[in-house]
Amino acid sequence: MKDVLILTGAGQIGIAIARRMGYGKKIIIGDRRKENAESAAKVMNGAGFDCIAIEMDLSSRDSIKELIQRAREYGEISMLINAAGVSPSQAPIETILKVDLYGTAVLLEEIGKVIKHGGVGVTISSQSGHRMPALSPEVDKQLAVTPTEELLSLEILNPQNIKDTLHAYQMAKRCNEKRVMYEAIRWGERGARINSISPGIIVTPLAIDEFNGPRGDFYKNMFAKCPAGRPGTADEVADVAELLMSERAQFITGADFLIDGGATASYFYGPLCPENK
């Protein structure tokens, strides 16, 4: 039996983190498209890791529970990397809320019930949650503590109150940050930690979809005018995740880490600020 690392979402960011943290562990790669998980597992197994691929749907509690049950056949779950999700250009409002918001909340809840003592997780959020105007303390608390099966019934998440897919994505990512804070308390009861990372524009197939989508010019302008002057790479996100998932970060839990080359700073106080245009 080995310690088990669960990776949800077979994209470049999740794989980059798994390559840092997965040595000596059984790695379970879950993705809605099993062929994506199989492709990632093949590459990692060829590099000396021990991976299996499983089809899983982040929007389904039953699918998440099946993933966890399969993972526990190999040992105790000691690590979670949640990098699954859809972008504003890939899905309608309802799907974004069901996958990125509800699905992430369910995954953190279910893993939190079984995570090994000393275990750790990271979930990939987004800079989008930081660019949205502040919500009221009451709404923030609703996003944090509402029972998962009631989340999508919140008035603020009624699709009629969501302007567009970007707004839905921002709400989902804000909810991710609040949910991590809430679940950190539950995970802490098991001696485990959970944090989130909010990347900016990272060059991945998903980002390329955005570059070629209706907001492509907006995103290209964003990384051109951020302090870093460029988009980021999956390995730069993995640098942060490696710290958060290591023993050096024992005092860090329930936190979100923005890694966007300064794009959010520029959006509020620099050349990307709408008032400066």
- The catalytic residue among 25, 26, 98, 173 is 173
Give yes or no for a contact between 132 and 171, defined as CB atoms under 8 angstroms apart. yes
CA distance 142 to 149: 13
Is 169 a catalytic site residue?
yes
Closest C-alpha to 252, from 237, 241, 261: 241
The half-sphere exposure of 107 on its side-chain side, counting CA atoms within 13 A, is: 34
- The catalytic residue among 25, 26, 102, 169 is 169
Is 219 a catalytic site residue?
no
Give the pairing of strands 256-259 and 50-55. unpaired
Closest C-alpha to 192, from 66, 76, 104, 100: 76
Q: Could you give the residue ranges of the DSSP H alpha helices within the chain?
A: 12-21, 34-46, 61-72, 93-96, 104-112, 128-131, 137-145, 165-188, 205-211, 216-224, 234-244, 263-269
Distances (CA, A) of 1 to 41, 76, 133, 142: 19, 8, 47, 40
Residue 228, class by beta-carbon neighbours within 10 Å (0-12 exposed, 13-18 middle, 19+ buried)? middle
Instruction: Phi first, then psi: give them for residue 151, nearest 5 degrees.
Output: -55, -50
Closest C-alpha to 111, from 193, 34, 13: 193
Residues annotated catalytic, as ranges: 169, 173
